[in-house]
Structure 1
Amino acid sequence: MNTTDFSLSRQRLMKAMLPNSIAIVPAASLVSRSRDTEYPFRQDSYFQYLTGFPEPEAYLVLSNDCEYKDGLSVLFCLDKDPLQEVWHGRRYGPKQAKKQFAIDMAFALDELDDKLLDLVDGHKHLYFAQGHNTQADELVFDVMQALRNAAKQSKQAPATIVDIRLILDEMRLIKSDAEIQVMRQAAAIACQAHIRAMKFSEAGKNEYHLEAEIHHEFAMQGARHPAYGTIVGSGDNACILHYTENNQTLTDGDLVLIDAGCELQGYAADITRTFPVSGTFSEEQKQLYNLVLKAQLKAFRAFKANNTIKQASDLAIEVITQGLIDFGILRGELADNIEQLTYREFYMHGLSHWLGLDVHDVGHYKIDDEDRPLKAGMVLTVEPGVYIAPDANVDIKWRGIGIRIEDNLLITESGYENLTQAAPKTVSEIESIMRRGI
């Protein structure tokens, strides 16, 4: 991603706004971890999408007033401060930020209150994500009130505030070529991390050892942070969908479910693989695993332009439900079990979600209450699973087995591209790579 990519995003946003509109987009702030320490900074996804600017406490202002031929972009950011930079790191400052990020104008954050009044004055519409950032909410409402209360109506406040997310979410849903390239890279790194975990796994090690191997691979390939809390669930921990304790000893004969993806330039990968701790599936594990894989591969057939996620989900549900009936875990007819949702005891989550700057990315799944047709440029996950709780009322041989297989698909004009194909997922591939080891 380069300055041209971010500039194009700003241009698209300004063209989509109503005439004579102004937009205000805040950056993220530092978040305290404990006393005088902060969590690693992560830029707000909307701000990242429009600027690529990596610092906290900043604001982007965009105007498409006819006075500006190609629109106006204004950045407010922390000023240069030698003392603060000694303690907390270098800052771009307005002058360098303007040049580095192809912004039309840049000012110190201290100037925001005064200059924002003049920038907003006279615009008919204000685009803003109300409720997204409390501090920004207060700023915008103060500016609007100051404009309304100006002496002798010398200033004019926008007549309407429009939710900027209505435009940005739609923009972010369809990835550009540059975004897709970054997501391919993130997926490739995450695939290597899952392979590394498979090779490292053995009984007696801890779940957090696998977590450490994955995070090390991320960092060594330039993706310093996971995109979300890494899940390493061995044994019946795999039946806890968002298990993140990752502190139990790996046991021979168990499966381990790893749901992990890195973040690269703000973009997420999201992969789940399930494999035997010691490298060989038991017969029951293999049967359930192949059922989940069959469901995923069947669902893949529906992922193409103009189809819907629901079409794919229905295929996966049909495969999983029939398999559970065949194994004696469910009883009765397929249609009755699907209608009565009995499968949801063992497959209780959705098949797919959007993927991008957020691991559960923005974008509506329905339009006018109808399932949204897929379009080229969308990126999403496909993640069927089966989870048999340790106390489930089924044959004991199935209990405590949790399996999920998750890949990242890019919808194309001719079908889809599996961005995470390089992470092994057939029984033979997994057993083969684990036999070879590190």
Structure 2
Amino acid sequence: MNPDFPVGRYHEDLSAFAKRRASLLAQLEVTGGGALLLPTAPERIRNGGTTYPYRFDSDFYYLTGYIEPDAWLLLRTHESPRSVLFCRDRDPEKELWEGRRLGVAAAPQALGLEAAFPLAELDAKLPELVAGAPALWLPLAENEEIDARLRRLLPALRTKARLGPPAPATLHDARALIARMRRIKDAFELELMQRSATIAAHAHRRAMRVCRPGVHEYTLEAEIIAEFRRHGAQGPSYPTIVAGGANACILHYTDNRSRLKAGELVLIDAGCEYDGYASDITRTFPVDGRFRPPQRLLYDLVLAAQEAAIAAIRPGATFDDPHQAAVRVLVQGLLDLGFLSGSLDEALERQTYKRFYMHRTGHWLGLDVHDAGPTHENGLPVTLVPGMVLTVEPGLYVPEADDVPRDFWNLGIRIEDDALVTERGCRLLTRDVPVAAEAIEALMQHESD
């Protein structure tokens, strides 16, 4: 490997990225050929000249492995070079402050691309490189910066077309094309996702071990994030939720400021990002290590719903099947407890259960925690195939209400795992952290002895 490029920041095995680009180019060929142009994410100012922690564009990384800001990728079917990167060049003065850059000279070898040019040449070279392409795939109507670049590019292409090859006749959405590819994970991705899941599971176990009445929610959050970093994750894949007591009934609670109390449950929704790939785990457990009877009733009901959803994940099933399986179990349980009235079919048809369960049972997972790719196409749920990864996260959230027994007030319970669709069913990536009530109590009791 070239000693000039930032060691440890880029993958030595480039085959996965090359295969994805080849697959994408093959899809473009099938549609008649053309060029695809894609930018990565820019740096953003947080305040006072300080930037937000940088995170690359997921589609861009998926195709290149490139993790620095200010770059564009061009893929072409109509002539060589077929893969071109425009990126920042080396700058010793800025690198002294901000860290080593890959640079133009090292980029082709480091990323397995055919050519690279300085970012400053993008406007001048694009009309030349895109001219003659039958069609152009772009991230359409995404943000002002990209739109401004395209407003400069398209007139330049039309001007050039008067003297030479025609300008692209049609524009297409690049994001939609890449999203369908990303929905099915390759072996390279699954290895990283399993590592992310394993680290996140360790962090949840750590939170269970250190939880005690009187500690603050942010104390558990700190333990979780420290465990992420201790095992090599870059950080959380989304804002960590540590919600004690009634806070667990706020679905996206992230204040994490309250003091945890004996007799209450705490809901932790936390995942990490490892080399770009997200994990997503939720566990709910008693602050003092022992479930009270009403808590245990609802917890076991949510766990039964999750087990039903997991059993529904298999090739040939649809994205909606796990949700429907979970809802049926939850609604029957709520009827048995007297939280709902009428028959199972009536409650499902009228959706009266949404008072206690108002979200879906899962979403795609990958480079983004809510990963790319439609869940429904042509009005129908997507059929599951091996290589897809989705979360399984049923829950129940019980507010204070006159028609609900007081012992159940302010209980929020969610259980979430990450499921890989396999040839015969599914495999959970996240079960290194206990989920059965007895196993949770055993872990917490052992730590308190």
Greater mean deviation of Cα atoms: 393-402 or 249-258 = 393-402
| Aligned twin of 1:60 | 73
Q: Deviation digits for residues 130-169 of structure 1, max 9, x if unmatched? A: 1234322221231111121348444531111111123211
Look up the equivalent residue of 2:49 and give its one-letter code: D
| Aligned twin of 1:5 | 16
Q: Deviation digits for residues 171-214 of structure 1, max 9, x if unmatched? A: 00000011011101100000000000000100110000000110
| Aligned twin of 2:181 | 171
> For 1:93, what is the secondary structure of its paired residue?
coil
Q: Deviation digits for residues 13-57 of structure 1, max 9, x if unmatched? A: 111113331111101111111121011100000101011111000
- Give the direction of change, closer, same or farther, for the CA distance of 1:92–1:314 in structure 2 (3 Å limit): same
Look up the equivalent residue of 2:19 and give its one-letter code: L
CA drift of 1:109 comes to: 0.7
Residues 179-258 of structure 1 correspond to what in structure 2 (within 5 A)?
Answer: 179-258=189-268
Look up the equivalent residue of 1:394 and give its one-letter code: V
Q: Does 2:33 align with 1:20?
A: yes
Look up the equivalent residue of 1:189 and give its one-letter code: I
Distance 1:164 1:288 in 2: 44
Distance 2:219 2:242 in 1: 9
CA drift of 1:422 comes to: 1.2
Greater mean deviation of Cα atoms: 135-144 or 30-39 = 135-144
| Aligned twin of 2:151 | 141
Residues 250-289 of structure 1 correspond to what in structure 2 (within 5 A)?
Answer: 250-289=260-299
Q: Does 2:113 align with 1:103?
A: yes
Q: Does 2:57 align with 1:44?
A: yes
Q: Does 2:389 align with 1:368?
A: no
Q: Is the Cα–Cα contact under 8 Å of residues 269 and 281 in structure 2 kept in the other structure? A: yes
Give the unaligned 5+ runs of structure 1.
none
Q: Is the Cα–Cα contact under 8 Å of residues 277 and 367 in structure 2 kept in the other structure? A: yes
Distance 1:307 1:339 in 2: 22
CA drift of 1:247 comes to: 0.5
Look up the equivalent residue of 2:135 and give its one-letter code: H
Q: Does 2:160 align with 1:119?
A: no
| Aligned twin of 2:8 | none
- Give the direction of change, closer, same or farther, for the CA distance of 1:89–1:335 in structure 2 (3 Å limit): same
| Aligned twin of 1:399 | 409
Distance 1:368 1:307 in 2: 17
> For 1:433, what is the secondary structure of its paired residue?
helix
Distance 1:20 1:331 in 2: 58
Q: Does 2:40 align with 1:30?
A: no
> For 2:117, what is the secondary structure of its paired residue?
strand
Q: Deviation digits for residues 241-267 of structure 1, max 9, x if unmatched? A: 000000000000000000000001111
Q: Is the Cα–Cα contact under 8 Å of residues 26 and 133 in structure 1 kept in the other structure? A: no
Distance 1:187 1:413 in 2: 21
Distance 2:141 2:280 in 1: 27
Q: Deviation digits for residues 54-75 of structure 1, max 9, x if unmatched? A: 100000111111x34xx61111
RMSD: 1.4
Q: Is the Cα–Cα contact under 8 Å of residues 61 and 73 in structure 1 kept in the other structure? A: yes
Greater mean deviation of Cα atoms: 78-87 or 134-143 = 134-143
Look up the equivalent residue of 2:279 and give its one-letter code: A
Q: Deviation digits for residues 372-407 of structure 1, max 9, x if unmatched? A: 111110000000000001346311111000000001
Look up the equivalent residue of 1:352 and give its one-letter code: G
Look up the equivalent residue of 1:277 and give its one-letter code: V
Look up the equivalent residue of 1:56 and give its one-letter code: P
Q: Is the Cα–Cα contact under 8 Å of residues 127 and 160 in structure 2 kept in the other structure? A: no
| Aligned twin of 2:441 | 431
Q: Is the Cα–Cα contact under 8 Å of residues 131 and 161 in structure 2 kept in the other structure? A: no
Q: TM-score, normalised by structure 1?
A: 0.97
Greater mean deviation of Cα atoms: 149-158 or 378-387 = 149-158
Give the unaligned 5+ runs of structure 2.
1-10
| Aligned twin of 1:390 | 400
Distance 2:148 2:15 in 1: 32
Distance 2:142 2:191 in 1: 29
Q: Is the Cα–Cα contact under 8 Å of residues 302 and 330 in structure 2 kept in the other structure? A: yes
Q: Is the Cα–Cα contact under 8 Å of residues 59 and 178 in structure 2 kept in the other structure? A: yes
CA drift of 1:429 comes to: 0.4
CA drift of 1:311 comes to: 2.1
Distance 2:49 2:89 in 1: 21
Look up the equivalent residue of 2:259 and give its one-letter code: T
Distance 1:64 1:155 in 2: 15
| Aligned twin of 2:4 | none
Q: Deviation digits for residues 82-104 of structure 1, max 9, x if unmatched? A: 11111222111101112111111
Q: Is the Cα–Cα contact under 8 Å of residues 234 and 275 in structure 2 kept in the other structure? A: no
- Give the direction of change, closer, same or farther, for the CA distance of 1:158–1:431 in structure 2 (3 Å limit): same
Q: Does 2:345 align with 1:332?
A: no
Q: Is the Cα–Cα contact under 8 Å of residues 320 and 381 in structure 2 kept in the other structure? A: yes
Q: Is the Cα–Cα contact under 8 Å of residues 25 and 128 in structure 1 kept in the other structure? A: yes
| Aligned twin of 1:85 | 95
> For 1:233, what is the secondary structure of its paired residue?
strand
- Give the direction of change, closer, same or farther, for the CA distance of 1:392–1:109 in structure 2 (3 Å limit): farther
Residues 313-352 of structure 1 correspond to what in structure 2 (within 5 A)?
Answer: 313-352=323-362
Look up the equivalent residue of 1:60 and give its one-letter code: L
- Give the direction of change, closer, same or farther, for the CA distance of 1:144–1:232 in structure 2 (3 Å limit): same
Look up the equivalent residue of 2:180 and give its one-letter code: E
CA drift of 1:345 comes to: 0.2
Look up the equivalent residue of 2:243 and give its one-letter code: G
